[in-house]
Amino acid sequence: MTTSAIIVAAGRGTRAGGEIPKQWQMLGSRSIAAHAMQPFADHPGIASLVLVVHPDDPGDLWRDTPQAQIIAGGATRKASVMAGLAALPAGTTQVLIHDAARPLVSAAIIDHVLSALETHQGAAPAVAVTDTLWHGAAGHVTGVQDRTNLYRAQTPQGFHLAPLLAAHQMHDGDATDDVGVARAAGLDVAIVAGDESNIKVTTPGDFARAARLMGQDMDIRCGNGYDVHRFGPGDHVWLCGVKVPHGRSLQGHSDADVGMHAVTDAIYGALGQGDIGQHFPPSDPQWKGAESHIFLRHAVGLAQAQGYKISNVDCTLVCEYPKIGPHQAAMKSALAAIMGLDADRISVKATTSERLGFTGREEGIAAIATITLVKP
Ligand code: MG
């Protein structure tokens, strides 16, 4: 048996809203169709993939999909499926047909369909209806439908290729799914276990639901930052955006806000985008005496441009003096305002180094920071 999969992505998806058809809208870092294709691309039982697209859709929509043969679909779902069937590689004996708007299909569902095809001409996943079903008219309940033996159909729907081709050729009119076409030709179609998560993205609310269900696949990144500035003459230090009176000042090319520099470098680190020195070279006179929020805002902007949200920040200042406790809340608020975060996602804390080393001798202040970025 050689099994190919057809992903039908030629629909217009008007009910979901948005500028482009729903299957090409983004869900996290990839299009819905790309998510829908990946389990087939990864499955050892699937030899090749055919992606059926709408002839009017531009090719950059499917730039992030797994490797597939791209075929132009027809005016109806049935015509698109037939175009996909005609394009299957020679030697294909079984086909799984999947809707590109179901991004949460699992390897387990594909397994179920494939094993049922060993003993049936067709097989498709479904979940039993558990809600009570009503008949209604003009906003009133007019009757109750017995839900025994009722199922909600899902995809992928799998078939032996030869009988399905024959069924499509003799079926006139459109069909909402391939099981309908197969059954009209008298094929035996087994019901296998679907999954409540295998939803079809149809309405605007389905995007958020799919994103929640996909939560375990979030792209999570951690970064750390470390910085040191030495003391020199002066009467205050800038720490995490707060001016703290002190008998000396921190020296540096900018305002020497060692805490904010550590936080900024943690963001650059999480993104794999170098450090402050790379983005704001000390050799460039325009950054002399610069306020450090410029650096932090730049790093936050880079993260946002790549689709990341900052989940939390933890910054530790290492010094004997000044005492940080009285300024902790103000530092959290200052960082929160610059980063556009709730203050409860920010931690600023301090430790001494037990009079050991350069911080213990009060020659300077060190700061370390850890940050988490999340792309849903
Ligand atoms: Mg620095």
Give me ligand 1 centre to Cα 221, in Å. Answer: 23
Q: Do 114 and 242 lie in a common domain? A: no
Mean pLDDT in residue range 203-217: 81
Tell me, what's the pLDDT at 175? 76
Give me ligand 1 centre to Cα 188, in Å. Answer: 71
Mark out the alpha helices in 131-216 (DSSP H runs): 161-170, 178-184, 204-213
Give me ligand 1 centre to Cα 322, in Å. Answer: 18
Q: What is the CATH number of the domain that holds 248?
A: 3.30.1330.50
pLDDT category, 346, cuts 50, 70, 90? Answer: very high
Q: Do 240 and 271 lie in a common domain? A: yes
Q: Do 169 and 306 lie in a common domain? A: no
Give me ligand 1 centre to Cα 226, in Å. Answer: 9
Q: Which is it for strands 48-53 and 140-145: parallel, antiparallel or unpaired? A: unpaired
Q: Do 185 and 276 lie in a common domain? A: no
Mean pLDDT in residue range 178-204: 94
Give me ligand 1 centre to Cα 235, in Å. Answer: 19
Give me ligand 1 centre to Cα 299, in Å. Answer: 14
Tell me, what's the pLDDT at 231? 97
Q: Do 191 and 113 lie in a common domain? A: yes
Say how far apart CA 160 and CA 113 lie, in whole Å.
11
Tell me, what's the pLDDT at 263? 98
Give me ligand 1 centre to Cα 255, in Å. Answer: 9
Q: What is the CATH number of the domain that holds 70?
A: 3.90.550.10
Bridge partners (DSSP) of residue 318 are 351, 366
Give me ligand 1 centre to Cα 185, in Å. Answer: 74
Tell me, what's the pLDDT at 133? 95
Tell me, what's the pLDDT at 216? 54
pLDDT category, 49, cuts 50, 70, 90? Answer: very high
| Global model pTM greater than 0.75 | no
Domain boundary among 181, 199, 217: 217
Is residue 89 over pLDDT 90? yes
Which region among 120-134, 167-181, 252-266, 293-307 has the lowest average model confidence (pLDDT)?
A: 167-181
Q: Do 35 and 183 lie in a common domain? A: yes
Give me ligand 1 centre to Cα 330, in Å. Answer: 20
State the total domains in the chain: 2
Q: Do 143 and 180 lie in a common domain? A: yes
Give me ligand 1 centre to Cα 204, in Å. Answer: 45
Instruction: Using alpha carbons, list the distances in angstroms from residue 369 to 253, 309, 310, 318, 363.
Output: 20, 17, 13, 11, 20
Give me ligand 1 centre to Cα 230, in Å. Answer: 10
Return the ∠ at Cα 151 (arms to 148 and 154), rounded to 5°: 175
Q: Do 51 and 180 lie in a common domain? A: yes
Is residue 171 over pLDDT 80? yes
Is residue 14 over pLDDT 70? no
Give me ligand 1 centre to Cα 318, in Å. Answer: 14
Give me ligand 1 centre to Cα 292, in Å. Answer: 9
Task: Give residue-wise pLDDT tens across range 287-342.
Answer: 888 899 999 999 999 999 998 999 999 999 999 999 999 999 999 999 999 999 99
> Do residues 54 and 11 lie in contact, with contact meaning Cβ atoms separated by under 8 Å?
yes
Q: Do 231 and 167 lie in a common domain? A: no
Tell me the average pLDDT of the chain: 94
Give me ligand 1 centre to Cα 316, in Å. Answer: 14
Give me ligand 1 centre to Cα 229, in Å. Answer: 6
Q: Do 176 and 233 lie in a common domain? A: no
Domain that residue 353 falls in: 219-375
Domain boundary among 178, 199, 217: 217
Task: Give residue-wise pLDDT tens across range 61-87.
Answer: 999 999 999 999 988 888 999 999 999
Q: What percent of the chain has pLDDT over 90?
A: 83
Give me ligand 1 centre to Cα 179, in Å. Answer: 65
Give me ligand 1 centre to Cα 15, in Å. Answer: 52
Tell me, what's the pLDDT at 375? 83
Domain boundary among 217, 238, 273: 217
Give me ligand 1 centre to Cα 239, in Å. Answer: 11
* Tokens matching residue 205: 């609310």
Is residue 17 over pLDDT 90? no
Q: What percent of the chain has pLDDT over 70?
A: 98
Tell me, what's the pLDDT at 217? 58
Is residue 358 over pLDDT 70? yes
Q: Do 332 and 368 lie in a common domain? A: yes
Which region among 97-111, 181-195, 278-292 has the lowest average model confidence (pLDDT)?
A: 278-292
Mean pLDDT in residue range 158-173: 93
Give me ligand 1 centre to Cα 249, in Å. Answer: 13
Q: Do 213 and 223 lie in a common domain? A: no
Say how far apart CA 301 and CA 175 lie, in whole Å.
48
Which region among 146-160, 193-207, 308-322 has the lowest average model confidence (pLDDT)?
A: 193-207
pLDDT category, 15, cuts 50, 70, 90? Answer: low
Give me ligand 1 centre to Cα 275, in Å. Answer: 10
CA 254 distance to own-chain centroid: 37
Give me ligand 1 centre to Cα 262, in Å. Answer: 7
Our CA dihedral for 33, 39, 44, 50, rounded to 10 degrees, sits at -10
The values of phi and psi at residue 208, to 5°, are -65, -40
